[in-house]
Amino acid sequence: MKKGKIVQVSGPVIDVEFEDSDLPFIKDALEVNNDGKRCVMEVAQHIGNNTVRCIMLASSEGLHKDMEVIATGSTGWRENVRPSV
C-alpha cells in the first residue's frame, strides 16, 4: 500500500503528498485514521510535486497537516460508503 501525508486541508478538499511519483489513480480511495475513525477520501486530481487533491466523503473535521494517509487501491465511494437501507 502506498502511504502519504496530508499537506493541506481546505474544508472537504485535502491535498496528500506521496514520497515518489507512483501516485494513486484518479477516483482511488485514500484512508486516514482520525482519532480511531476511518475516514475515506477520493482522489480527484494529480496536482504535481507527487501530490494529489482529494475530496472527503465525510466530514474533514479533525484532519490536519502531516497525518498519515493510506492508498487502498480501490475506487472511492462505490466500495467505501455503505448504502442506506
Q: How far apart are CA 35 and CA 13, in angstroms?
A: 19
User: pLDDT tens digit string along 2-21?
Assistant: 999 999 999 999 999 999 99
Of 24, 74, 80, which Cα lies nearest the Cα of 56?
Answer: 80
**Does residue 55 sit in helix, strand or coil?**
strand
19-61 pLDDT, tens digit each? 999 999 999 999 999 999 999 999 999 999 999 999 999 899 9
pTM of the model: 0.86
> Is the Cα dihedral 35, 37, 43, 45 positive or negative?
negative
Distance of alpha carbon 85 from alpha carbon 18, whole angstroms = 37
